[in-house]
Structure 1
């Protein structure tokens, strides 16, 4: 809990709230995604715990922050890895420790799930996020991430 705002695991019943927060996050960063694709992906994590987990920060019955984590298995890390896919707090509630608390809980849940590392990416222009991650012990890797969309 932070500033009286509880953080809890999301369930399939939270799909609408989770999707709403994730849509806001992606829109804020100009990342296009169809709402149906976003709902499909979020629902798949919520319904199959082996895929990852979602945490919600809730204030007054409304979801105001989300951490979405997916699992993968990598040779380089020697096993299960947690990928912090999204971390988002509603703009009006930023700077109240909610993102910090969501991140700390995500790290703890990933560790309890047997993950060897928690990995993430940060847009190069997002210095505030980099500061948060450094405070939690994350280090910048000397790599560039690449992607290829498949048909």
Structure 2
């Protein structure tokens, strides 16, 4: 929970912690919704990723949305993000996904280079959202 909330706050997303907890419980209770991946170092959580599963017409079948990938600031550039991404791609393959989608804030050059290096391609799209 702590890392997911830290990720959201770093991106100026103020979802209340209780709502994040409800969402996490929903994923843990229904594995077909997605997977949470956690990286530990000496009993301390240092990275987290969340994959959500969707049926995507664009990809012609099951796909994963890499909604979150977060590494604590003091462990960035240590390969933790790359390891999390590889683990997420492995989970997506095991689940039969044919693609992984994700989004990156324009100011996040470091993580953009990671995704490029791992074979992701950038789409010229803008994401829109409306809270219901």
What's the TM-score bracket when you normalise by the shorter of the two chains? over 0.9
Aligned residue number for residue 5 of structure 2: 23
User: What is the Cα deviation at residue 89 of structure 1?
Assistant: 0.7
TM-score with structure 1 setting the length: 0.85
Q: 2:67 aligns with which of 66, 75, 85?
A: 85
Q: Please give the TM-score of this superposition, normalised by the length of structure 2.
A: 0.97
Tell me the CA shift for residue 107 of structure 1.
0.5
Is the aligned partner of 1:50 residue 2:52? no
Q: Indicate the structure whose relative CO is greater, using CA pairs within 8 Å and at least 6 residues apart.
A: 1
RMSD of aligned residue pairs (Cα, Å): 0.8
CA distance in 1, matches of 2:122, 2:24: 27
- Residue segments in structure 2 that go unaligned for 5+ positions in a row: none
User: Mind listing any 5+ residue stretches in structure 1 that lack a counterpart?
Assistant: 1-18
Following superposition, which runs of at least 4 residues in structure 1 exceed 4 angstroms of deviation?
none
Question: CA offsets per residue over residues 8-52 of structure 1, 9 Å max, x none?
Answer: xxxxxxxxxxx1100001111111101111001111112211001
Aligned length: 132
